[in-house]
Amino acid sequence: MRRNERESDVTRAVRSTLCAILAATALSPLAAQNMSAQGPLSNDGPARIFEVKGKGFLRNGQPHQVISGEMHYTRIPRAYWRDRLRKAKAMGLNTITTYSFWNAHEPRPGVYDFSGQNDIVAFIRDAQAEGLDVILRPGPYVCAEWELGGYPSWLLKDRKLVLRSIDPQYTAAVDRWLMRLGQEVKPLLLKNGGPIVAVQLENEYGAFGSDQTYLRGLEASYKRAGFADGILFTSNQGGDLAKGSLPNLPSIVNFGSGGAQSSVAKLEAYRPDGLRMVGEYWAGWFDKWGEEHHETDGKKEAEEMAYMLKRGYSISLYMVHGGTTFGWMNGADSHTGKDYHPDTTSYDYDAPIDEAGNPRYKYGLIAAAIAEVTGKPAAPTPAPTVATTFPVSPVRRSASLWDNLPAPVRAAQPKTFEELDQNFGYVLYRVAVPAGPAQTLALKGMHSYAQVYLNKALVGTLDRRLDQETVELPARAKPATLDILVENTGRVNYSHAIRTEQAGLTGAVTLAGQPLTDWQMFRLPMDNLSSLKLSAKPCSGPCFYEAEMTVSQPGDTYLDMRGAHKGQLWLNDHNLGRFWSIGPVHTLYTPAPWLKAGANRVLFFDLTGDASDRLTTVAKLIYGKVTNHREAQ
């Protein structure tokens, strides 16, 4: 069935359902207050005063419902920020929610980056220019399916440091970061004429712990950084409200579609007279490598939006637009610390606005729900941007990883990425092994994907997703060189596992139970590939490949990665992200602003490349298996 036919059917169904709901349900006291003599809620004019009053908000002294949606500046090409913000506002939103990402802004201790894609100030000012308020979530922990939940990996270099705790070493680093972030965003707080009307303390802490001393200490850090001058609140899932809240701060609830009635009931039971707000309403879900693509029920989400808004709830959709986790920044899900589910480059999230910024069918349904309740006519659904295709040449030049190794670091035992002062990419670990029979090589705590070579011949692959830590080495008639190429596939961003998310070889390495010593380690962050020795000679194994995309006029497109295996891709100067043939996403979003008319360089690294590697472009996302079930968080 074509998408427009699907939209038409679902739109008619939800409009009928919404009308029935609205006709049959009386306004709650809070909703009645919000729709009282002052007329429909509005976002006309900038906010000057914003406060919590009873169960709701007052904006410039008038009752106000926050109708927000989350989007992240780092996941949207900067040239498209205003476009995505306008589309969010056209859907009926009056507020944008965003995290700040510590590891994007402080890649090395004391080295800060607030430029380009990381210019959070420009993003917030763009929201203000579009007439939107902003809710800021500074973390420092943000989850967000983002690398290590937003923490910079250099925190893990000292294994004694304890994340999300009152460890003095940790809290000192957090305090320094928040003070530096405050220098950027404090002028954007409401009291200073900016659009930031509220700030979230921590992020779903109740799912992690219940240490009130920790939360109090973080609240004090927020105050020192200037983040607590207005509304400060906590947000947690329904079962964690008591563990993750502070008695002096508003507490709001997070949940996904299908959970509205039970979750708001939990919030109302916990704080009978407290603020009625949903901090994250998951209108979609994220994808993980080797699993299924998620598509959730937009009709149900529109119905629940209407239900919550009628009860006077303020709401923030997570996500209104997911975008793309460019580069190396995807996180990984884990609940026990043993399970490992790395997230895909695409963060489409099945959100109302898709990865490329186009409204999908649920956009119109949710817009209609908002319009029905607020009394504001829904704006026309924005027209989609038509994606195009461009020819991509066959591979023209290539380079073997073996011929492009840097000088090694030497140590008796393997060092982690963090101990090598490396955040992302790969590390090649090399050690001599004696002659001997076939034996078991054990890599305790291998994080997170490894290819094992004897004399540069591949003899095994280990995948943390599959709980693999051993491989059988074949018999050796004479001493041999053992190489272990380890990829950081994305550090876990959820659960207590974040505290032990060092990357690389993090534990003992043994052969037949005996430790291997005297290692060489080759750092491969792949952050500067200008010195690659490319040639027309064919390459197989771990190789870099160069092709050319010819662009007549820049337009959005997608690189179809089904002709490659596993690795990373760069377009001109932009790291588009990871690809992996196991799916469920088989395309890399390629935005028009990152293309130029004429020849565009495409460079990709493939762990198991060969002469068959070939890329093309397509005009839409390509998914593998699809599920309509969102697993419990």
Partners of 44 in beta bridges:
none
**8 Å CB contact between 435 and 426:** no
135 and 266 fall within a common domain: yes
Return the number of other C-beta atoms located less than 10 Å from residue 446's C-beta.
22
Check which CATH number belongs to the domain holding 210 and give it: 3.20.20.80
256 membership: H or E segment, kind and range: strand 251-256
CA 455 to chain centre: 38
516 and 622 fall within a common domain: no
Distance CA 392, CA 491 (A): 32
pLDDT at 34: 38
In a domain, 385, yes or no: no
Partners of 443 in beta bridges:
509
448 and 508 fall within a common domain: yes
- Phi then psi dihedrals of residue 47, to 5 deg: -75, 140
Show which of 329, 357, 389 is a domain's final residue. Answer: 329
435 and 460 fall within a common domain: yes
435 and 573 fall within a common domain: no
pLDDT at 1: 32
512 and 557 fall within a common domain: no
Distance CA 557, CA 389 (A): 6
CB within 8 A of 35, min separation 6: which ones?
27, 41, 375
- Strands 67-70 and 314-318, how do they pair? parallel
Name residues of the chain where pLDDT drops below 70: 1-44, 632-633
579 and 505 fall within a common domain: no
In a domain, 68, yes or no: yes
Closest CA to 633 of 203, 152, 24: 203
CA distances from 93 to 42, 97, 156, 304 (A): 10, 11, 39, 16
CA 205 to chain centre: 18
Helices and strands (H, E) in the chain, number of each type: 11, 35
pLDDT at 632: 59
In a domain, 344, yes or no: no
171 and 246 fall within a common domain: yes
pLDDT at 336: 87
Max CA-CA distance within the chain?
90
Distance CA 521, CA 215 (A): 40
120 and 166 fall within a common domain: yes
In a domain, 376, yes or no: no
In a domain, 580, yes or no: yes
276 and 243 fall within a common domain: yes
Check which CATH number belongs to the domain holding 552 and give it: 2.60.120.260
pLDDT at 305: 97
In a domain, 417, yes or no: yes
Distance CA 124, CA 196 (A): 8
- Phi then psi dihedrals of residue 194, to 5 deg: -95, 180
- Give me the active site residues, please: 204, 280
Distance CA 488, CA 422 (A): 10
In a domain, 102, yes or no: yes
Distance CA 208, CA 218 (A): 15
Return the number of other C-beta atoms located less than 10 Å from residue 438's C-beta.
10
Angle made by CA atoms 469, 475, 480, in degrees to the nearest 5: 85
pLDDT at 125: 98
**8 Å CB contact between 148 and 491:** yes
Domain count, the chain: 3
Partners of 68 in beta bridges:
95, 316
In a domain, 427, yes or no: yes
- Strands 557-560 and 541-551, how do they pair? unpaired
Distance CA 453, CA 45 (A): 64
Distance CA 136, CA 216 (A): 19
Distance CA 138, CA 198 (A): 11
Structure tokens at 209: 């712990």
What pTM, to 2 d.p., does this model score?
Answer: 0.93
What one-letter code names the amino acid at 268? E
Show which of 490, 524, 558 is a domain's final residue. Answer: 524
510 and 593 fall within a common domain: no
Distance CA 315, CA 93 (A): 10
Closest CA to 324 of 349, 292, 351, 355: 355
Hey, is 79 helix, strand or coil?
helix
Distance CA 65, CA 43 (A): 9
Distance CA 284, CA 272 (A): 29
Give the model confidence (pLDDT) of 14-67 as tens digits: 444 333 333 333 333 333 333 333 333 444 688 889 999 999 999 999 999 999
Distance CA 579, CA 567 (A): 6
Distance CA 315, CA 305 (A): 8
51 membership: H or E segment, kind and range: strand 50-53
471 and 610 fall within a common domain: no
Range of the domain at 501: 405-524
Partners of 574 in beta bridges:
571
Distance CA 505, CA 575 (A): 25
Show which of 492, 524, 556 is a domain's final residue. Answer: 524
